[in-house]
Homo-oligomer: A and B are copies of this chain.
Amino acid sequence: MNKQPLSFKDFETDQEVRWCPGCGDYAILKAVQMTLANIGSTPENTVFVSGIGCSSRFPYYVETYGFHTIHGRAPAVATGVKLANPKLDVWLVTGDGDGLSIGGNHMLHVLRRNVNMQIMLFNNEIYGLTKGQYSPTSKQGTKSPSTPFGSVDLPLNPCSFAIGAGARFVARGIDTALKALPHTLERARDHIGASFIEIYQNCIVYNDKTFEHFTLKKQAANTQIHVEHGQAMIFGTDKDKGLHFDKENFALEVVIIGENGITEADILIHDETNKLMAQMLVELTAPDFPVVCGVIYCNPTQSYDDAVHEQMNKAKKGKKPDFNALLRQGRTWTVE
């Protein structure tokens, strides 16, 4: 059968999209639909699984199979889906509350097990759906309905957490980066195993502009760095800034090429297979450092679902399952 290639429009559903006007979720939806079209997904073999939250309404808007589950449990449900049918292309959508607060344990274990799926964590640093309480990624001091005097918790760094959990693919994107995001998502899809993508998403109603200090388009060149494997980590409007490893302090620093004798050779080359480097990069925060986006860590190994099926097949191999024989194993006796 010769099918027309699908366009991103083919991945739109007939459901009215129910996010607030101006919500960052719209842009991400578009980026995902574009990605699905770009990679030639077949809708019937694609499943979107989500938890509960504004972000988790996502599956209703993608013309594939979808499961809008319960709060925090999407990674577990998605693991079941993938184990049951490894041919399905599984995408997980979650929020900072859904995936890192109530769902932190399942997130930990889906990453540790390395179940083959794409995990998109929409981080808006707030609980959108329940009207604006602070979340585990909210900045210290966040005033919210549940923290009228400001939050005192230390926030979690989702990518640090993911690496600590054993993730083999960690990436970052920004809702409005309509060019960069589909590229990152394609890489995530290509990676066999759990691919974790933190997407900074602006909640215009309850946490507007939290990311503005590094997402504003006009300053982006100086406040973001999109890393590429094998490339020196250079950024800035004039491509004159770079990340340098300071051995004395055992830490990264921003240097300027041409100043203090710094040359391009002093700039660290991004090695996406190096965990240590990834751990370092995900911790950088603006304004002192650029925020690192793109594929930060990619170091594949066999996925859990692969290994499970391999073991199943090995156990089955050469055996003709005979249920009656199973029941008769061990000692039996006959009454005549």
Give the docked Cα–Cα distance between A157 and B113 (Å): 12
Q: How far is the CB of A32 from chain B (nearest CB, A)?
A: 26
Do B154 and A301 touch (CB < 8 A)?
yes
Number of this chain's copies in the complex:
2
Q: Which of B112, B163, B314, B315 interacts with A153 by CB under 8 Å?
A: B112
Main secondary structure of the interface of A (DSSP, over half): helix
- Residue among A104, A152, A165, A277 with the highest chain B CB neighbour number at 10 A: A152
Do B245 and A274 touch (CB < 8 A)?
no
Q: How far is the CB of A226 from chain B (nearest CB, A)?
A: 20
Do B112 and A136 touch (CB < 8 A)?
yes
Q: Is A162 an interface residue (CB 8 A)?
A: yes
Q: How far is the CB of A243 from chain B (nearest CB, A)?
A: 12
Of the four ranges (under 10, 10 to 19, 20 to 34, 35 or more), the interface on chain A belongs to 35 or more
Residues of A142-171 at the interface with B, using a CB-CB cut-off of 8 Å, are 149-150, 152-157, 160-166
- Using an 8 Å CB-CB cutoff, how does the interface string of A311-334 with B read, 1 for contact, 0 for none? 100110000000000000000000
- Using an 8 Å CB-CB cutoff, how does the interface string of A293-305 with B read, 1 for contact, 0 for none? 0000000010010
Give the docked Cα–Cα distance between A315 and B165 (Å): 38
Inside 8 A of A189's CB, which chain B residues have their CB? none
Do A247 and B247 touch (CB < 8 A)?
yes
Name A residues whose Cβ lies closer than 8 Å to a Cβ of B. 101-105, 108-109, 112-114, 136, 149-150, 152-157, 160-166, 245, 247, 250-251, 271, 274-277, 279-280, 283, 301, 304, 307-308, 310-311, 314-315
